């Protein structure tokens, strides 16, 4: 095929993926759609896709975001001079955008609307910590190398001392964990836990924020931004632990909830655990039987790193990396399977069980504290070191 013909075909392909004219939107339908769109909550972090049966449209300020970030030009935006500019994307680009928004470390909520007669209804929604609604699109022809950890945070106050409860769900390794701790002035304990967990999203009890003073609330906001978490605020009703034991009996392997008294006796931790179970829809996932392991999370058994230290040490990859081996994870990542890559990133299962030195996880997460760990690491590293030099004196 001549170069000119190839170029024309390439342009036709680009036009087919970008400039798809929404034929079903006549003037009357467009006016009705604009009226509906204006009823939606204005949130810059929410990207709404509208299924047009063969392609998708994005409207409003989000259309300009999609055009600049994914098409590198605003020429694809239609109706730029109107009240409601829009951009059309084909299915392949839709999946690419989903992966970037939900797996790329951004703090966006993705919503998909489908037509219901002359109206529109929300059919699917996902956040960086809750991806199940778009599993098919996210992982089609792509290895599922990372499953996000979701955390929940709540606060209580007793005798003038604030306590923070933290719980998490790791769906990849079927782990549940929870604990509570006294809230220090700099919130360093909470920051260390969130960095250790590597959570992508945190569900925050917005009603418990009033228990903190203005300085603590300000530091909490800065902390969550520094860690890079997407924060989803929910009311106290989500943190109700009234039915927690019954729920755990359904999701915990073996259903032996009575063996987890160390978790259940911590009421603030239980509130966080109830919230993360509900938000991550663990009950729906475990309808076929319990498969999760519950443990009391021991933050004191890990090296305490804040977000700044983790970035300085280049432990995990980031967008600014010059190449794939710029981080410690990149250097160690020789995994051939998606499971191996997840094992490489996941935190330790429990502080009471010895870490497996055969996994790169052991090196990255830097377990500490138990006395046998330094001896074990010395045994592993000794063969890699040169023999000691002889002393200059007898």
pLDDT tens, 83-142? 788 899 999 999 999 988 988 778 899 999 998 877 899 999 999 888 888 888 887 765
Residue 246 has pLDDT above 80, yes or no: yes
> For residue 272, what are the contacts with CB-CB under 8 A and spacing of at least 6?
152, 153, 154, 165, 166, 167, 178, 180, 205, 239
pLDDT mean over 24-28:
57
pLDDT at 271: 97
pLDDT mean over 197-201:
86
Structural contact between residues 20 and 55, judged by C-beta atoms closer than 8 angstroms = yes
Mean pLDDT of the chain: 77
- Helix 267-279 × helix 244-251 angle, to 10°: 60
> What domains appear along the chain, each with residue ranges and CATH number?
13-139 (3.40.1170.10), 149-314 (3.30.420.110)
pLDDT at 46: 94
Burial code of 121-138, b = ≥16 C-beta within 10 A, e = fewer? Answer: eeeeebbbbbbebbeebb
pLDDT at 369: 39
- How many other β-carbons are positioned within 10 Å of the β-carbon of residue 277? 27
pLDDT at 12: 41
How does residue 282 score in pLDDT terms, banded at 50, 70 and 90?
A: confident
How does residue 365 score in pLDDT terms, banded at 50, 70 and 90?
A: very low
% of the chain surpassing 90 pLDDT: 36
Residue 62 has pLDDT above 90, yes or no: yes
> For the segment 340-359, what is each residue's pLDDT rounded down to a tens digit?
665 666 543 333 233 333 34
pLDDT at 34: 84
Q: Degrees (nearest 5) of the Cα angle 197, 210, 206?
A: 50
Place of tokens 């903190």: 212
> For the segment 288-303, what is each residue's pLDDT rounded down to a tens digit?
467 899 999 887 655 5
CB-based burial label for 354 (10 Å; 0-12, 13-18, 19+): middle
pLDDT at 390: 65
Give the integer Cα–Cα distance in Å for 285 and 197.
21
Structural contact between residues 272 and 240, judged by C-beta atoms closer than 8 angstroms = no
pLDDT mean over 231-254:
92
- How many other β-carbons are positioned within 10 Å of the β-carbon of residue 392? 5
Give the integer Cα–Cα distance in Å for 200 and 123.
23
How does residue 205 score in pLDDT terms, banded at 50, 70 and 90?
A: very high
CB-based burial label for 30 (10 Å; 0-12, 13-18, 19+): middle
- How many other β-carbons are positioned within 10 Å of the β-carbon of residue 259? 11
* pTM for the model: 0.71
Residue 165 has pLDDT above 60, yes or no: yes
pLDDT at 385: 64
């Amino acid at each position: 095929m001549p170069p000119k013909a190839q170029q024309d075909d390439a342009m036709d392909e680009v036009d087919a993926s970008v400039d798809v004219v929404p034929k079903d939107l006549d003037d009357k339908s467009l006016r009705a759609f604009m009226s509906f769109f204006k009823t939606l909550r204005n949130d810059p972090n929410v990207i709404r896709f509208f299924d047009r049966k063969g392609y998708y449209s994005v409207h409003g300020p989000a259309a300009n975001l999609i055009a600049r970030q994914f098409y590198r030009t605003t020429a694809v935006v239609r109706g730029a001079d109107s009240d409601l500019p829009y951009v059309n994307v084909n299915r392949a680009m839709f999946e690419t955008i989903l992966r970037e928004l939900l797996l790329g470390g951004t703090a966006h909520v993705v919503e998909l609307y489908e037509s219901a007669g002359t109206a529109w209804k929300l059919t699917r929604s996902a956040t960086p910590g809750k991806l199940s609604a778009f599993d098919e699109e996210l992982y089609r022809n792509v290895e599922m190398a990372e499953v996000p950890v979701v955390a929940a945070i709540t606060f209580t106050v007793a005798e003038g001392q604030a306590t923070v409860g933290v719980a998490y769900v790791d769906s990849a390794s079927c782990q549940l964990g929870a604990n509570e701790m006294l809230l220090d002035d700099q919130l360093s304990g909470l920051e260390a836990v969130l960095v250790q967990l590597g959570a992508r999203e945190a569900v925050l009890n917005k009603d418990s924020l009033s228990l903190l003073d203005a300085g603590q609330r300000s530091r909490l906001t800065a902390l969550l931004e520094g860690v890079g978490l997407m924060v989803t605020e929910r009311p106290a009703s989500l943190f109700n632990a009234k039915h927690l034991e019954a729920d755990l009996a359904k999701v915990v392997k073996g259903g032996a909830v009575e063996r987890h008294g160390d978790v259940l006796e911590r009421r603030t931790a239980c509130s966080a655990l109830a919230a993360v179970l509900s938000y991550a829809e663990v009950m729906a996932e475990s309808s076929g039987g319990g498969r999760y392991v519950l443990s009391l999370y021991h933050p004191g058994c890990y090296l305490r790193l804040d977000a700044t230290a983790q970035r300085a040490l280049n432990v995990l990859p980031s967008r600014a990396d010059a190449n794939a081996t710029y981080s410690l994870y990149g250097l160690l990542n020789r995994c051939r399977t998606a499971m191996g890559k997840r094992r490489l990133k996941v935190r330790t299962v429990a502080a009471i069980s010895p870490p497996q030195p055969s996994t790169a996880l052991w090196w990255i997460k830097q377990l500490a504290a138990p006395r046998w760990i330094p001896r074990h690491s010395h045994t592993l590293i000794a063969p890699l070191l040169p023999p000691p030099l002889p002393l200059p004196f007898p």
